[in-house]
Structure 1
Amino acid sequence: MSDTEYHEEEVLARASQGDKDAFGALYERYAERIFNYVYYRTGNQHDAEDLTARVFQRAMNHIRNYTDRGVPFSAWLYRIAHNLVANWHRDRSRKQEIPIDDLPILPTKGDHPERNLVRSQEQDALLKMIRKLPPERQNLLILKFVENMSNAEIGKIMGRSEGAVKSLYHRTLLALRDQLEDQNLNLEGE
C-alpha cells in the first residue's frame, strides 16, 4: 500500500467518524475531477456546479455508511455523480449540449480563421455524436479522455473487468467512426 493510499484510508476513517476537516481534505482532492465528469455529462457549468455540490453533500451525509470494497473512494463518488446526473437528465427528459461558443479554440501559429472554423464545426459535430451515445459509453469516454484514467481504474468505477472496459471502448470508438463516416458521406452527397 502506497503512502497516498494509506493516507487516504486514514482520512476516510476520520471522515466517516464525523471529522469535517478530513471530509474537507477529500473534497479538495476530488472536487475538480467530479465537477469535470458532471460538466461533460450535463454541458452546463451552473448545473455542473450544483450537481457537484450535491454529490459531496450526499457523500458527507452517507460517509458513515461507506465501506471499502476494494475499489477506490473516487469510484463511490463517481457512482453518486452518475446517479445524480441520470436523475437530472430524466427530470429534464432531454440532453443539454455545450454551446459551440463555450468551446475554446486557441489559434496556433500560422493558423487561418477558416481552419479554426472547420475545427470548431468538427468539435461540435463530435460532441453531438458523443451526447447521443448511451450514458455508459459517455461515462467511459469522459473517464478515459477527460480524467485520463486507465482501463483498470475505469473498470473499478464502472463495476466491470478491465477486458470488458477495453471491449466497450473499442466498440464505442468503432461506432463513432461509423457515425463520422456516415456524416461525411451525407455531406458529400449534398
Structure 2
Amino acid sequence: FLRALRNLASFRRPGGDFGAWVTTIARNLVINWQQSHQRRERPVAELRDAAPVDQAPSPEAAAVNALTRVALLAGIEQLNPAQQQCITLRYLRELSIEETAQALGKTPAAIKALQYKALRALRGLLPVTAVMPA
C-alpha cells in the first residue's frame, strides 16, 4: 500500500478501477519477491552426495542423477579459470555475491557478470536430455 500511496499521482485513468490498480501493484511486488527469492540452485557439492537417506531413488533416477553429476562436473572443468572460481565460490562454498567479489578482488557487478557468463557457458556445455516420466 505504501507503493500505491507513493505513486497515487500516477493513477489517472478515466474510469479506471482503483482496486485493480492496487492489486496490480501488489501482484508485481509478489512476482518480484518470488523471482529474487526463488529456490536456490543446488550447489555442485550436493550433486556429489548420495540420494537422501529417507528415500531410495529408482534405478532410472539414480542413473540420470549419476550422468547429470558427471556431465556437470565435466562442464565446470571446461570453463575458464575465472568462471571456475566464481562457480566454485558461489555454488560449492555458497558465498554471497559480495563475499565472492571480496575473495576474487572484483566488484559485485563484475561477479554478477562473471557468474552470468559462467552459467551461460555451462548451459551450452551440458548435453540436452529429456527424461520422459513413466
TM-score by structure 2 length?
Answer: 0.55
C-alpha distance in structure 1 between counterparts of 2:123 and 2:60, whole Å: 24
Partner of 1:128: 74
Partner of 1:170: 116
Q: Does the CA-based 8 Å contact 2:79-2:121 persist in structure 1?
A: no
Q: Which residue identity does 2:113 align to in structure 1?
A: S
* 1:119 partnered with 2:65: yes
Q: Does the CA-based 8 Å contact 2:77-2:84 persist in structure 1?
A: yes
Partner of 2:38: none
Partner of 1:160: 106
* 1:104 partnered with 2:49: yes
Contiguous gaps of at least 5 residues in structure 1:
1-39, 41-102, 186-190
* Larger proportion of helix: 1
TM-score by structure 1 length?
Answer: 0.40
The alpha carbon displacement at 1:169 in A equals: 0.4
Which has the larger Rg? 2
Contiguous gaps of at least 5 residues in structure 2:
1-44, 130-134
Q: Does the CA-based 8 Å contact 1:105-1:120 persist in structure 2?
A: no
Measured at CA, do residues 148 and 104 of structure 1 come closer, stay the same or move farther in structure 2, by a change above 3 Å?
closer
Partner of 2:96: 150
Which consecutive segments of 4 or more residues in structure 1 shift more than 3 A?
none
Q: Matched residue pairs, number?
A: 82
Partner of 2:128: 184
The alpha carbon displacement at 1:136 in A equals: 1.2
Q: CA RMSD in A?
A: 2.0
Q: Does the CA-based 8 Å contact 1:131-1:138 persist in structure 2?
A: yes
Q: Which residue identity does 1:129 align to in structure 2?
A: G
